[in-house]
Amino acid sequence: MVTMDLKSLKTFHRILSSGSFHRAAEEMNYAQSTVSMQIQRLEAEVGVQLFDRTQKSVGLTEAGRVFYEQSIDIMKRIDQLKSTMIEVTQAESGSVRIGVTEPSASFRFPAILGKFLNTHPKVHVSVHIANTPILNNLLHTGEIDIALCSTPEMGTSLFFEPLFQEGFVVLLPEHHPLSEQSTISPEDFVGQRLLITAKNCPYRKKLEVVAQEWNIPLNTLNTLEITSMTALTSYVEHGIGIALVPRIMTESPVPGTIVREMGSHSINMTTGFLYQTDKLPMLPASRALYHFLKNELLTSITP
């Protein structure tokens, strides 16, 4: 079984990058005899001669050339491991890439992120706003570290941790005929223009399921597709139609609109964390944001 001294391996690569045993010794602050001894130890460990000592300049034997090519990846991995260990030991620094869906991205996350950055000023956070299917893919490709989103579709290998239920309300133009009612029933949507989100939006899919349960399929209603969830309130404000929107979007008054409950036909959608289990435990920056977000969301949202 071959054991390998990492110091000797590092010295081997330094000799090749510097061009000589002498310069390698100077750069590494070693005596030249130490460099020679490390190479002799390395050659003894691998059982072959690595340097061609018949040449005046630094040259590799055929075995040395193969060893060099095969060990490049090892050196890269060692450097990557060192960087990771530095980040692990510095829990208050590092970076985290988080994906967030609407409406949390616009209505919940900014205030929480601001508080987090005040207490963790050295952590660099990047925010990717997209729908759940896109965030699911970004987690698979390693482009984000964690996501705050709705429940993903069946079949994903990612782990979903439910946090809270996002309740829906009906948003109406201020002088809409339905504004006279205290609550809205499913039958009230018939004959009205209903603003809906894009087909791949989890909120749209949830609405389609609920409409089927109401025996009022969406394709039988007068609908207008608006691909931006956060834009729905503006379209309602201008009298274009009515919309079922997450309650959080109406907590601050929307000019020219009124809010009505669905009564006994309430609609709720689960929001939580999505992440890869093979990346656990999370690196410190991701873990710090995860715990901070979880605490803030669970304490600020009324069941």
Return the CATH number at 81.
1.10.10.10
Determine the pLDDT at residue 94. Answer: 82
Residue where one domain finishes, among candidates 59, 88, 117:
88
pLDDT tens for each residue of 118-173: 988 889 999 999 999 999 999 999 999 999 999 998 878 899 999 999 999 999 99
Rounded to 10 deg, the angle between the 284-300 and 62-89 helix axes is: 30
Q: Is 104 among the domain residues?
A: yes
Confidence of residue 1 (pLDDT cuts 50, 70, 90): very low
Same domain, 236 and 212: yes
Q: Is 291 among the domain residues?
A: yes
Same domain, 120 and 143: yes
d(CA 173, CA 19): 77
Sequence-ordered list of residues with C-beta below 8 angstroms from that of 176, at least 6 positions apart, any chain: 239, 242, 258
Give the chain's domain count.
3
d(CA 173, CA 241): 7
> Has this prediction a pTM greater than 0.75?
no
* Listed residue (289, 284, 282) closest to 119, CA to CA: 289
| Structure token pair of residue 15 | 């000799």
Residue where one domain finishes, among candidates 88, 115, 140:
88
Q: Is 1 among the domain residues?
A: no
Residue where one domain finishes, among candidates 68, 88, 108:
88
Same domain, 151 and 274: yes
Average confidence (pLDDT) over 4-27: 88
pLDDT tens for each residue of 78-116: 888 877 676 655 556 789 999 999 999 999 999 999 999
Same domain, 70 and 11: yes
CATH number at residue 260: 3.40.190.10
Residue 207 Rama label (left phi>0; alpha psi -120 to 50; beta):
alpha
Q: Is 154 among the domain residues?
A: yes
pLDDT above 70: residue 63: yes
Same domain, 171 and 213: yes
Q: Is 193 among the domain residues?
A: yes
Same domain, 66 and 141: no
d(CA 86, CA 139): 24
Same domain, 174 and 263: yes
Helix, strand or coil for residue 25?
helix
pLDDT above 90: residue 6: no
Same domain, 130 and 257: no
* Listed residue (228, 245, 243, 250) closest to 129, CA to CA: 228
pLDDT tens for each residue of 174-186: 999 999 999 999 9
Same domain, 181 and 260: yes
Give residue 30's domain range: 6-88
Same domain, 257 and 199: yes
Q: Is 60 among the domain residues?
A: yes
d(CA 273, CA 227): 23
Same domain, 128 and 258: no
| Structure token pair of residue 89 | 């030991």
Same domain, 139 and 199: no
Average confidence (pLDDT) over 47-57: 83
Determine the pLDDT at residue 90. Answer: 56
